[in-house]
Amino acid sequence: GAGVSQSPSNKVTEKGKDVELRCDPISGHTALYWYRQSLGQGLEFLIYFQGNSAPDKSGLPSDRFSAERTGGSVSTLTIQRTQQEDSAVYLCASSRNSPRAGGYNEQFFGPGTRLTVL
Amino acid sequence: GESVGLHLPTLSVQEGDNSIINCAYSNSASDYFIWYKQESGKGPQFIIDIRSNMDKRQGQRVTVLLNKTVKHLSLQIAATQPGDSAVYFCAEYGTSYGKLTFGQGTILTVHP
């Protein structure tokens, strides 16, 4: 079946512009995660959605970053007034169920959106 | 040219050798530990996981060892193949909303 898809695959923007990154999770997956991967680094958690609500936004680096999810499916990550330090690969992952104590729900990752801020 | 900031540990092996990739973790309360493989231009791909109450788990050609005393995790790949060349990340699965905390990553290069 189809995996997690993200668009665009690459985005080049000028400093100060706003960008929107899109994630289509695997159909039926209720949990959705956004991560950021800077060059040569590991992945950094940004935000988690369960359905349309975001119980954990603790990883968003500043108030320029926001995300929403509609219909329990597609999610959009918006970065306002982009800065050069926002340049990174933004990865989305989804899992079948909500996290549960004592259990692990595998997260399936999309290919990411490579954002370059000039 | 080489990118500034790219200081991931690297491991180079010959095809057919066994590979061992190591990871130190920080949160003793983590419930699961997972190894991911990331090929160039792709998202991380799940390899194997291990629960914190285990010390060893085997999959197909891979074995994960967990030493909770020293907070150390390792991934062993048997008979390494060129297709195994990638960046390997360990991750801790937290009970707080299931977010993954990733380690720095290790670049594995397999020479034919």
**pLDDT digits over B77-89, tens only?**
999 999 999 999 9
Does B81 lie at the interface with A, CB-CB under 8 angstroms? no
pLDDT digits (tens, 9 = 90+) for B18-60: 999 999 988 878 888 999 999 998 999 999 999 999 999 999 9
Domain membership flag for residue A104:
no
Contact B103 A42 (CB under 8 A): yes
Q: How high is the pLDDT of residue A41?
A: 75
For residue A56, give the CATH number of its domain. 2.60.40.10
Q: Which of A21, A41, A58 should one mutate to test binding to chain B, selecting the residue with the greatest count of B CBs within 10 A?
A: A41
- Asked if residue A67 lies in contact with residue A76, where contact means CB atoms within 8 angstroms, the answer is yes
Structural domain boundaries of chain B?
20-77+89-107
Q: How high is the pLDDT of residue B93?
A: 85
The residue type found at A8 is P
The residue type found at B47 is I
Token pair listed for B5: 């900031």
Looking at beta carbons, which residues of chain B come within 8 Å of A21? none
Token pair listed for B9: 């540990």
pLDDT digits (tens, 9 = 90+) for A1-39: 589 999 999 999 999 999 999 999 999 999 999 999 998
Q: Structural domain tally of chain A?
A: 1
- Torsion from C-alpha of B12, B14, B17, B19, nearest 10 degrees: 10
pLDDT digits (tens, 9 = 90+) for B49-67: 999 999 999 999 999 999 9
Q: Confidence class of residue A102 from pLDDT cuts 50, 70 and 90? A: low
Query: Is A71 or A74 the better-scoring residue by pLDDT?
Result: A74
Does A41 lie at the interface with B, CB-CB under 8 angstroms? yes
Does A112 lie at the interface with B, CB-CB under 8 angstroms? yes
Domain membership flag for residue A51:
yes
Domain membership flag for residue A75:
yes
Out of B41, B43, B93, the one facing A109 most closely (by C-beta) is: B43
What domain range is A67 assigned to? 5-98+109-117
- Asked if residue A77 lies in contact with residue A54, where contact means CB atoms within 8 angstroms, the answer is no
Phi, psi of B4 (to 5 degrees): -65, 135
What mean pLDDT comes out for the span A42-61?
A: 90
**Is residue A20 packed enough to be buried (19+ CB in 10 Å), middle (13-18) or exposed (0-12)?**
middle
Which of A71-80, A101-110, B102-111 has the weakest average pLDDT? Answer: A101-110
Name the residue of chain A whose CA is nearest to B2's CA: A40
Name the residue of chain A whose CA is nearest to B89's CA: A42
For the structural domain made of B20-77+89-107, what CATH number should be given?
A: 2.60.40.10
Domain membership flag for residue A103:
no
Interface A:B, Cβ pairs < 8 A = 75
- Asked if residue B104 lies in contact with residue B8, where contact means CB atoms within 8 angstroms, the answer is yes
Rounded to an integer, what distance in angstroms lies between the CA atom of residue B51 and that of residue B98? 14
Rounded to an integer, what distance in angstroms lies between the CA atom of residue B38 and that of residue B63? 18
Q: Confidence class of residue A104 from pLDDT cuts 50, 70 and 90? A: confident
